[in-house]
Chain A
């Protein structure tokens, strides 16, 4: 494993602990949740599990209604666990919203998380969240802005989009790239639920595509994938931009931390390949011609040595077959499929079979 991965993984346990004490003290802070999980694991029948959870929910219900709510965050986490097992805890929804409104940063995060897990888009309580989100979007604390944008991209009532749209648009030109990226993803969500409301900002998407930060640019690809799926003809002029971006990625121009197992930004490559295959479908020749060189290059670079390169090869081959055909590329692609099918790894055989079917 590379050094960076090793370092991240060793740092992970300490990041995940809520206090700075090592070892068993970690569990004691979360002892109630820990006890609950242990309790559930030890039980053998569904009936007993039901009894235990119902008891737990009753106790949580009493505690959330009491005025002293310092343990609210911990109660919410236990409620999340109970709901995850399938036991409804609708009494806690309103408390989750309150936690997101009033708590400190960590409590807010848990509150927002609980809301995104408990509620769905059509729930009436979601309207109560809108004010909190609006407030947090205008906060000077960047972490709160991030949390608000995350929640907005997960669920947001369609009717309240006009209220929040200008604030989100404004974030598109923020100096911090994480906020720009999350703003793009929020707009993607708005496009999915109410496309007519974001018609006027398509030029801002183009700006995001050309953003100097690769994270923001790759977030905009989600929107473009959707737009191009609906209307490939309208975006053929962008083919050159996508090919240029892919060229730069494959040539290793991105910062080192975008590398994954020595492959430069594989998910970005996969995304771009999907977009290119949509643009080149049913094409006469012109658009596809622009792509041949980069497809050749990607096929060459992605050697068969890791799961993720197989994924890139898969997408590459799919793209080659969808666009206007070129004989030597087709030959290389066929060889690739052959390698998959003949490989000893069962997953690759499956991928190869899939490709042959299509």
Chain B
């Protein structure tokens, strides 16, 4: 199960974080920093899966200088692809909408929906209601 999802920029500053298990606020910053250090220090030739304490991190780097880290307990498959589709053109200033999309896709640490149109449907509907 996914423990948390994290998106950071190249300086390692958190752009988005979503936890699927209760983690105390004070511990989060330290955990994020350590995990990010772990991934940032790897080069391109190294594999995207890293062991860190009792987590397995899966990460991917994007051209828009946004890393994507996903912490998983039991890595079974590579699903970085699905987040790739949605977040490659995301504008970070719309934090709430990004969270809405993420919530539609991952709940309770499990991927629940990967169908593009279904994930975006609630957001489209809300925006329509606001405009119309």
Contacts and interface: CB of A to CB of B under 8 A. Distances in A.
Interface residues of A, number: 76
A8 B47 contact: no
Given A13-B91, A113-B99, A41 B9 contact: yes
16 contacts: A4-B116, A5-B85, A5-B116, A15-B124, A41-B9, A80-B99, A105-B130, A106-B126, A116-B103, A153-B107, A307-B80, A308-B77, A310-B78, A311-B76, A311-B79, A350-B49
B78 A311 contact: yes
Interface string B1-35: 00000000101011011100010011011000000
B86 A86 contact: no
Given A12-B86, A267-B79, A314-B76, A121 B22 contact: yes
A147 B126 CA distance: 10
Interface string A203-242: 0000000000001000100100000000000000000000
Contact of A16 (B16, B18, B46, B90): B90
Interface of B: 9, 11, 13-14, 16-18, 22, 25-26, 28-29, 45-49, 75-82, 85-86, 88-100, 103-104, 107-108, 110-118, 120-127, 129-131
Given A113-B100, A113-B103, 12 more contacts: A5-B116, A16-B90, A26-B91, A106-B129, A153-B108, A154-B108, A219-B112, A270-B77, A307-B80, A346-B45, A350-B49, A354-B75
Nearest to A119: B22
Contacts of A147: 122
- Name the prevailing secondary structure of the A interface residues: helix
A178 interface: yes
Interface string A139-169: 0000100110010011000000000000000
Given A15-B120, A26-B91, A27-B93, A86 B115 contact: no
Residue of B11, B26, B112 contacting most chain A CB atoms (<10 Å) = B112
Interface in A94-109: 104-106, 109
B126 A84 contact: no
Interface string A29-68: 0100110010011000000000000000000000000000
Contacts of A314: 76-77
A86 B91 contact: no
A292 interface: no
A150 to B, nearest CB: 6
A105 B116 contact: no
Contacts of A85: 14, 29
A296 interface: no
B114 A260 contact: yes
A178 B121 contact: yes
Nearest to A215: B118
Interface string A186-197: 001100100000
Given A85-B29, A188-B108, A267-B111, A257 B78 contact: no
Interface string A102-146: 001110011001001100110000000000000000000001001
B129 A8 contact: no
Contact of B130 (A33, A86, A106, A222): A106
Contact of A154 (B29, B81, B96, B103): B103
Interface of A: 4-5, 8-9, 11-13, 15-18, 20, 26-27, 30, 33-34, 37, 40-41, 77, 80-81, 83-86, 88, 104-106, 109-110, 113, 116-117, 120-121, 143, 146-147, 150, 153-154, 178, 181, 185, 188-189, 192, 215, 219, 222, 257-258, 260-261, 265-267, 270, 274, 307-308, 310-312, 314-315, 318, 346-347, 349-351, 354
B95 to A, nearest CB: 6
Nearest to A4: B116
A307 B112 CA distance: 19
B76 A315 contact: yes
A317 B25 CA distance: 40
Contact of B108 (A18, A41, A189): A189
B17 A30 contact: no
Contacts of B22: 120-121
A22 to B, nearest CB: 12
A215 B90 contact: no
Nearest to B130: A106
A5 B126 CA distance: 22
A57 to B, nearest CB: 13
B4 to A, nearest CB: 11
Nearest to A268: B114
